[in-house]
Amino acid sequence: MSIWRFADHLPAVPPEFRITLGEGNTPLLRSRRIGPEAGLERLFFKLEQINPSGSYKDRFAAVAISAMRAQGKSRCVASSSGNTGAALAAYCAAAGIACEIAIVESAPAAKLLQMLAYGARLKRVRGFGLDQEITSRALDQLAEMGGEHDAALQISAYRYSPLGMSGVQTISYELQEQSLPLELKLDHVFVPAGGGGLALAVARGFARLSLLDEQQRTPAVHVVQPQGNDTIATPLRERRVRAQAVTCTSAVSGLQVPSVIDGNETIAECRATGGTGFTVDDEQVWRCQARLAHEEGIFCEPAAAVALMGALQAVESGAIAKDATMVCLVTGSGFKDAASIERMTQHVTCPTVELSEL
């Protein structure tokens, strides 16, 4: 099975051009310890780190690269802080398409190695992903490169790659399916955000379902961002209509997107669901990442722990009732960010002992 079972909801790509590595159909698990400890009996995790390259971005890449095949394109031009690049590199390898990626300056080494293993060509750009002006100029240059006759630009944002982003909307379709046998009415979905594309995709996915079925209930889609990359969350919470460009100071890889990109549309469409925005500091994210591993057995990268931290903050502040049904998207694997795992385990050792000491 793959996201192509939702082909009626996706761009029209002939079956012979569709690429799949088995993306999608990720588990929805009820929290065993963190939720009950906080008085939340209906806290769930959507485990997107189970996807083939280790993140939800495989949903994007599956549609983006399939559409490129149908269009006869032979060269993928992209930008990434890690997960988008890994996903595109994997699907380009499967499709026989060349993959060229501009990397943000702070991307973790493990993500670069994964891209290189798939055969992608990489260039790390100084200041990209940290400085708003450099980031904007880099994206403009990539758009020009992607406009060449044999190429297509693939950036995981509606502003640049709307076809690929439609694949991310399948998260909402799956959540709707998975909630039915559990007899759940989803109240809230918490989504980590950098440029906002994921939250926008989730909101649009539920909006599409409600158009097809007027009885379909749309949950509130909430944006959670690091305080050091607060482009969307605070404007959404303060009822502003536009996102804000920032100079990124967060160390949470994957969410270091200082430009607005999909921010304005994310604010409008998440607000329409009843969603709001939450910000969390990096230290809270590190602790939440460790808790997911120690208390839930969920091994994720820091960006994937941001949604849970936002949900706990929302409940603690009284913004959301404890008896609500809430889903946190766990977006990427812990193997993506070795430095964060070293941080988590720095006070633990693995001694070598003699057999007699075992």
Strands (E), 126-276: 151-154, 188-192, 220-226
How much is the pLDDT for 240?
Answer: 97
Is pLDDT at 336 greater than 80 in this prediction?
yes
**Higher-scoring residue by pLDDT: 130, 168:** 168
CA–CA separation, 90 and 65 (whole Å): 10
CA–CA separation, 107 and 292 (whole Å): 22
How much is the pLDDT for 81?
Answer: 79
Q: Which CATH class is domain 57-164?
A: alpha beta
Per-residue pLDDT reduced to its tens digit, 65-123: 999 999 999 999 999 878 999 999 999 999 999 999 999 888 888 889 999 999 999 99
Report helix angle 197-212 to 170-179, nearest 10: 60
Written as one letter, the residue type at 224 is V
How much is the pLDDT for 214?
Answer: 66
How many of the other CB atoms lie within 10 Å of CB of 245?
A: 16
CA–CA separation, 256 and 249 (whole Å): 8
* Coil, helix or strand at residue 203: helix
Contact 77, 153 (CB under 8 A): yes
Contacts of residue 192, defined as CB under 8 A and 6 or more positions apart, other chains included, come to 198, 224, 225, 254, 255, 303, 304, 306, 307, 310, 329, 331
- Gyration radius of the chain over CA positions: 20
Q: What is the CATH number of domain 3-55+165-343?
A: 3.40.50.1100
Residue keyed to tokens 């983006």: 64
For 88-114, letters b (16+ CB in 10 Å) and e give bbbbbbbbebebbbbbbbbbbebbbeb
**What predicted TM-score, i.e. pTM, was given to this entire model?**
0.95
Written as one letter, the residue type at 242 is R
Is pLDDT at 339 greater than 70 in this prediction?
yes
Is pLDDT at 136 greater than 90 in this prediction?
no
Strands (E), the chain: 28-30, 43-47, 75-80, 98-104, 121-125, 151-154, 188-192, 220-226, 277-280, 326-330
β-partners of residue 220 are 188
Contact 107, 82 (CB under 8 A): yes
How many of the other CB atoms lie within 10 Å of CB of 317?
A: 9
Segments making up each domain of the chain, as ranges: 3-55+165-343, 57-164
CA–CA separation, 243 and 18 (whole Å): 35
Q: Is 126 exposed, middle or buried (0-12, 13-18, 19+ CB in 10 A)?
A: exposed
Per-residue pLDDT reduced to its tens digit, 12-44: 999 999 999 999 999 999 999 999 999 999 999
**What's CA 37's distance to the chain center, in Å?**
26
Domains 3-55+165-343 and 57-164 share a fold: yes
Contact 99, 119 (CB under 8 A): yes
Contact 134, 128 (CB under 8 A): yes
Per-residue pLDDT reduced to its tens digit, 139-166: 899 999 999 999 999 999 999 999 999 9
Written as one letter, the residue type at 191 is V
**Higher-scoring residue by pLDDT: 123, 256:** 123
Residue 205 binned pLDDT confidence (cut-offs 50, 70, 90): very high
